Amino acid sequence: MEIGALLLITLPVALRAMVPIALAAIGEVVAERAGVVNIGLEGILVISAFAAVVGAQAAGTPWVGLAAGMLAGAAVALLHGWIGIYLKGDQIISGVGINLLGIGLVGFGAMALWGNRSLQLDYALWVPGLPVPWGSLSPLVPLTVLIAGLTWWLLHRTAFGLRVQAVGENPEAADVVGVPVERVRLLAVVYGGLLGGLGGAFLSLDWTHTITNTLPAGRGFIALATVVFSKLNPLLALVGGFLFGYFEALAIQLDSAASGGGGPALPSQFVRMIPYVATLVVVAGAIGRARFPKAIAQPYRRE
Amino acid sequence: MTVSMRIGGLLRPLLEVGGALLLGLLLGAALMALWGYDPWAAYRALFTSAFGDRFALANTLSRATPLILTGLTFAIGVRAGLFNIGAQGQMYVGALAAVVIGGLLEPPPGLHLPLALAGAMVAGALWSLPAALLKLARGVHEVISTIMLNWIALWLAQYVVLTYLSEGRRSIQVAPEARLPLITVGIDLSSALLVGVAFSLAVYGLLWHHVAGYELRAAGLNPDAARYGGVRPGRQLLRAFLLGGWAAGLAGAVEVLGRFPFALTNDLSNLGTLGFDGIAVALVGRNHPLGVMLSAVFFGALAAGRTMMEFRAGVPTDMIQIVQGVIVVAIAAPELWRMGRRLLPFPYLPPRRELKAEGP
């Protein structure tokens, strides 16, 4: 296959692959701006993907499922926030635990509910696509773009955004001028959970129409890479999500081309590696530690 | 230091970890009961198939072995003030090196096994180097760099296995001379255990009874004070990364040299998530080499017993990951302990020290 044609037919897949990565990353940008790191994104994605399926099945419509996914994401974020903000716990350890918990809860839940570790969804529960010239487009693709813009506006043009940045950069000063540091941080983390939850729901209800406890397949970690890549800017997180989604889509295309007999121009493993190598290069070259909020990952204790 | 504080200093970590383990097991039991499983039967099946007879015990110890090593990677990092979660990737390249050396080379007799082990250690250490250098030169946080390196290692090792070493669904096997022999005939426990224990004791000796380890821990406790005392913190970071890389590389090696299929599967799935699991092992072991060994036996027992738990009590094996997740989350929140402490009759316990500074 000609390289140009390959790059072109990959685009629609890339737009889909962008959604969960970009949503989780945009949400995490807000949380990290407030000074809270959540490396449990992978766990949030898988738990919300599962909750979305359960919600959609119960209500018989995918829209309720999307809402259930967001709620589940917010609930997990609430747990993480409670530990990291109010209990002054270690955010990274909590995130590691949430990732473990996610794999276990979804595997256990699927076995308990359906007697099987994976489930194919009925067509009635699929999120319907928007008709476009090349087929259909998930409504979550434009929604993700919209959310990126809205989040940028929220962070940079509203009083809430200012408060988020204040509690991330200098919680003591924010506290002195009367900003409720812990509440603002919790809100930021829950906002991240809502978006991550939407991304997880998209994975099961819209993209793959299945649920297993390995569904996110590392996308939570790619989202973390995207956050670093974005320099904590939601719009760049969208661009990063698209780029990383694009490489993923390209790797899928190369794999299927290879299994079809035509030798691939480039081993898919190297394509899959690109986002991670790119992130390392970006952090090594463009970003020092100064670009992150000063109080990142540190619980706030009033002296 | 008063006697009561000494007792408290030992009691605290025990109670804190014990509380987290209990919380994990209890929440797991509650969830099982909620779904109509019998938690008592489940835990009994788990226990007997992990410790019931010498075969069960051998299985438990054999599963504990790589966890000792990946647990040490994280624990050594914490002691130097690092959050090195790169054991997974370092384990992949270590296992790959062991397969290449054990399966392709034909060194003089007697040298095959030591070469494969040493090669794996070197490979693991090399894979930790980018994270160390990025941290030292550019201030890149090791959590970010090691997550990236873990994934790069996964795809790289898969590529090498598929392209150069593939033999059906797995890589070529390592030669019999390069395999770790069984400890005694008839019981499926390889001498990998001895490698793990020896390494762990060596780390203990280095960190607590040698000046190099003292410097490493001093840099972790307080880099500024250590610098004032003539320790160069950067060198200690590098030392901790390399030591951790050795341990993780060795973990990969003992899995492919000591356990069937004596090879890597094409997707590396026979290594599972041993590297990540090491984080939980280290946390429960309070980041102390001796604690890590005990903790690895606990996690090894969970891994060894969960299949029978599903078989006998019908509880999905995923329950074990829930229990592990709850344990880790509980350990993340020291204030949970403080909340619980009000209920306990130990008023003399000293306040909790920071993560970096804890341990006997």
Residue B346, in any domain of the structure: no
Confidence check: pLDDT of B269 > 50: yes
Determine the 3-state secondary structure of B267 from DSSP: coil
Q: What is the pLDDT of residue B350?
A: 44
Domain membership flag for residue B57:
yes
pLDDT of residue B59: 93
- Please report whether residue B329 resides in a domain: yes
Tokens of A86: 């109010």
Would you state the pLDDT for residue A156? 96
The verdict on residue B181 lying in a domain is: yes
Task: Report CB contact under 8 Å: A87, B334.
Answer: yes
What pLDDT does residue B42 have? Answer: 95
What's residue B339's pLDDT?
61
pLDDT at residue B227 tops 50: yes
In this prediction, residues A103-131 reach a mean pLDDT of: 93
Residue B159: the pLDDT is 94
Judged by CB atoms closer than 8 Å, whether chains meet at A283 and B35 is answered as: no
Opening angle at CA A43, ends A223 and A37, nearest 5: 55
Q: What is the pLDDT of residue B354?
A: 42
Q: Measuring CA to CA, how many Å separate B29 from each of B192, B224, B258, B313, B358?
A: 33, 46, 34, 12, 30
Cβ distance A225 to B144 less than 8 Å, yes or no, reads yes
pLDDT bucket at A263, cuts 50 / 70 / 90: low
Contact A98 B329 (CB under 8 A): yes
pLDDT of residue A229: 81
Where do we find the tokens 């670093």? A228
pLDDT at B7: 55
Please tell me if residue A106 touches chain B, with a CB cutoff of 8 Å.
yes
pLDDT of residue B337: 65
Nearest CB to A87; choose among B162, B316, B335: B335
**What is the rounded average pLDDT for all residues in chain A?**
90
At A2 the pLDDT is: 66
Domain count, chain B: 1
The arithmetic mean of pLDDT across residues B65-85, rounded, is 95
From B156-165, B173-182, B215-224, B251-260, the region with the lowest mean pLDDT: B215-224
| C-beta neighbour count of A198 within 10 angstroms | 26
pLDDT at residue A6 in the model: 72
Those of residues 113-132 in A touching chain B at CB distance below 8 A are 117
| B156-168 pLDDT per residue, tens | 999 999 999 999 9
**Binding-face residues of A in 31-50 toward B, CB within 8 A:** 37, 39, 43
Region of poorest pLDDT, from A186-195, B180-189, B207-216: B180-189
Asked, for residue B310, whether it belongs to a domain, the answer is: yes
Q: Estimate the crossing angle of helix B334-341 against helix B3-34, to 10 degrees.
A: 100
Contacting residues for A84 by C-beta, under 8 A, at least 6 apart: A36, A90, A91, A94, A189, A299, B332
Give CA–CA dist A242/A237, Å, rounded: 8
Please tell me the predicted confidence (pLDDT) of residue B62.
94
Q: For chain A, which domains are there?
A: 3-118+137-286 (1.10.3470)
> What is the pLDDT confidence band of residue B52, given thresholds at 50, 70 and 90?
very high
Query: What pLDDT, in 10s, does the model give residues A59-111?
Result: 999 999 999 999 999 999 999 999 999 998 989 899 999 999 999 999 999 99
Pick B134 or B109 by higher pLDDT.
B134
Q: What is the pLDDT at residue B348? A: 45
Q: Confirm whether B130 is domain-assigned.
A: yes
With a cut of 60, say whether residue B359 has pLDDT above it.
Answer: no
pLDDT for position B329:
93
Contacts A–B by Cβ distance under 8 A: 151
* pLDDT at A288 > cutoff 60: no
Model pLDDT, residue B358: 35
The pLDDT of residue A261 is 55
pLDDT at A262: 54
CATH (domain of B53)? 1.10.3470
What local confidence, expressed as pLDDT, does residue A100 receive?
93
The answer to whether the Cβ–Cβ distance between B156 and A100 falls below 8 Å is no
With 50 as the cut, is the pLDDT of residue B349 above it? no
Q: B9 or B189: whose pLDDT is higher?
A: B189
Asked if residue B225 belongs to a domain, the reply is yes
Residue A24 has pLDDT above 70, yes or no: yes
Query: Range of B216's domain?
Result: 11-341
Residue A281 pLDDT greater than 60, yes or no:
yes
Going A141 to A142 to A146 to A148, the CA torsion angle's sign is positive
pLDDT at A286: 60
Q: What is the DSSP string of B89-110?
A: HHHHHHHHHHHHHHHH--PSTT
The overall average pLDDT reported for chain B is 89
Q: Is A122 or B7 the better-scoring residue by pLDDT?
A: A122
Say what the ipTM of the complex is: 0.90
The answer to whether B91 touches B252, Cβ cutoff 8 Å, is yes
Q: What is the pTM of this model?
A: 0.89
Residue B38 structure tokens = 């019998």
Contacts of A92 in chain B (CB under 8 A): 83, 143
The whole-number average pLDDT for the span B270-289 is 93
* Chain A contact set for B320 (CB, 8 A): 104
The mean pLDDT of B88-98, rounded to a whole number, is: 98
User: What sections of chain A are H helices per DSSP?
Assistant: 3-9, 11-33, 41-59, 62-81, 91-114, 140-157, 159-169, 171-176, 181-201, 219-229, 234-259, 268-285
